[in-house]
C-alpha cells in the first residue's frame, strides 16, 4: 500500500487567492485610465504615470503575473 505525503498535486486555496490578487494589482497598475491623442498617443494610469495605450498589455501582464506567482507559490508548497 502506498503512503501519501502531506503535499498534494493541487494548489491550496491560499496560493490561488494570492496569485489572483497579484495579477489584479498588476492589471490595475498598468491599465490605461485616460489618454491624449497626440503623436504618439500618451496614456496615463489611474495613478497618473505613463502606461502603454493598448489595454491588452495590462491584461497580458496581469495574467502572466498571476501565473508566475501561482506557479512559484505552488512549487514552494510542494517542497515542504
**What cell was used for 29?**
497598475
How far apart CA 17 and CA 69 sit, in angstroms, is: 10
| pLDDT of res. 30 | 93
Locate the domains of the chain by residue range: 13-79
pLDDT digits (tens, 9 = 90+) for 21-68: 999 999 999 999 888 778 888 899 988 899 988 889 999 999 999 999
Say what the pTM is: 0.78
Name residue, grid cell 502506498: 2
The answer to whether 25 and 16 are in contact (CB under 8 A) is no
| pLDDT of res. 4 | 54
Amino acid at each position: 500500500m502506498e503512503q501519501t505525503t502531506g503535499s498534494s498535486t493541487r494548489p491550496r486555496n491560499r496560493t490561488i487567492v494570492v496569485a489572483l490578487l497579484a495579477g489584479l494589482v498588476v492589471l490595475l497598475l498598468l491599465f490605461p485610465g485616460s489618454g491624449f491623442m497626440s503623436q504618439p498617443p500618451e496614456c496615463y494610469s489611474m495613478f497618473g504615470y505613463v502606461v502603454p495605450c493598448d489595454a491588452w498589455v495590462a491584461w497580458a501582464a496581469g495574467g502572466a503575473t498571476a501565473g508566475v506567482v501561482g506557479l512559484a507559490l505552488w512549487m514552494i508548497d510542494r517542497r515542504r
